[in-house]
Amino acid sequence: MNGIERVYQFLDEVHTYYLATVEGVQPRVRAFGTALLYDGKLYIQTGKVKPVSKQIAANPKVEICAFKGGKWLRIAGELVNDDNRDVKVAMLDKMPSLKPMYSADDDNMQMLYFKNATATFSSFTEEPEVIQF
């Protein structure tokens, strides 16, 4: 498994991770659970009507934190909007629980992928491992 695949697998396994954005000078953080590896890119999903989406539009720099089994992962990077319908369909197929809230054609569902990302796996016992994508 290559680096981005391992990052994706970790997010999938934790089920819930925490996504931080910036609103002016105020950090904002909330629980997220969507993740998709598509076309070699790591995507997350949200709704364009949400404050989180508006914060990312104003400042695409975000950070994710996730923890499982003595290891934690941080991903710092920028999120890029992708309105490709196929990637929305792939997300809905992977997580059908999204379907009551979103559809690929609803003008709300938003797919965002990481660019200039630095993912760091850490633990109390091992040296940090850094993966760039």
CB of 30 to ligand FMN, least distance (A): 4
Report the interface residues with ligand FMN, using CB under 6 A: 16, 28, 30-34, 45-47, 50-52
- CB nearer to ligand FMN: give 58 or 130: 58
- CB nearer to ligand FMN: give 4 or 91: 91
H helix and E strand count, the chain: 3, 8
| Region of residue 67 (left: phi > 0; alpha: psi -120 to 50; beta: else) | beta
Q: Rounded to an integer, what distance in angstroms lies between the CA atom of residue 63 and that of residue 18?
A: 8
Contact 72, 123 (CB under 8 A): yes
- CB nearer to ligand FMN: give 25 or 127: 25
- CB nearer to ligand FMN: give 2 or 16: 16
Contact 43, 115 (CB under 8 A): no
CB of 99 to ligand FMN, least distance (A): 14
CB of 91 to ligand FMN, least distance (A): 10
